[in-house]
Amino acid sequence: MPQKLNNKVAVITGGSSGIGLAIAKRFAQEGAKVAITGRNQKTIDQAIAEIGSNGLGIQGDVSKPDDLTRIYQTVADHLGKIDTLIVNAGVYVLAPLASFTEEQFDQVSDINFKGAFFSVQRALPVLKDGASVVLISSTVNGKGIPNHSAYSATKAAVRSLARSFSADLLDRKIRVNTLTPGPVDTPVFASVTGNAEEANAMKEAMGNFTPIKRVAMPEELAAAALYLASDDSAFMLGAELLLDGGLRDL
């Protein structure tokens, strides 16, 4: 079968684990030259070993615009201009409204919202005209869930950015769309629980909360990201692709 991203250059922020790593691996299989970013060099190196020879890992923090400028210049120097950008880096910070701290608020907004905004803005000089940009949101961008107020708000902001960025970039024919997952089987469950047993229990509970009665696999999100990155979605602009097992609508 023909490769849908043959000789394309793709950048995935937060590409060293979870959804981002699954996307990077799928894009490499489809012929893309793939650059991933992350904050931990060891995790990046492990991810590149999985992605293969078409992978390039660059350490950096998306909440720091100067890091993003350096990242994109490194991509341009090594791989050329960017055909597709997946804005995936994010943090999942949960706490009750009454006890949510300013530090927690700054962390989730700096990475999920500010990071998404500047991940696109700082990429503009090295994005090709006609490029595809995909912002990773969350199904909670349209739901009210306890302990999720700040996180949900940042993901709603990301959904909004896809519309506004699309309008801003019409003259360059750069398409910006949102990929919106429900619960996905990633290390995020371990990050918000105390041990493996609690993480598995949370994953099972969130899976049962969906009408389809399971969490998604990262590879399912990677297949959706491939659709948005490729010419298959050429008529899709400023839109949202929802993969949440029916959680929002049923």
Active site residues: 151
- β-pairing, 55-59 with 33-38? parallel
C-beta of residue 229 within 8 angstroms of C-beta of residue 27: yes
DSSP-assigned letters across all residues of 103-157: HHHHHHHIIIIIHHHHHHHTTGGGEEEEEEEEEE--GGGGS--TT-HHHHHHHHH
Please, what is the Cα angle at 155 between 93 and 218, to 5 degrees?
80
CA atoms within 13 A on the CB side of 165: 29
* DSSP category for residue 210: S
Sheet with 240-243, edge to edge strand ranges: 55-59, 33-38, 9-12, 82-87, 127-136, 175-181, 240-243
Helix axes 18-29, 41-51, angle to 10 degrees: 30
C-beta of residue 140 within 8 angstroms of C-beta of residue 209: no
Euclidean distance between CA atoms 111 and 54, whole angstroms: 27
C-beta of residue 120 within 8 angstroms of C-beta of residue 165: yes
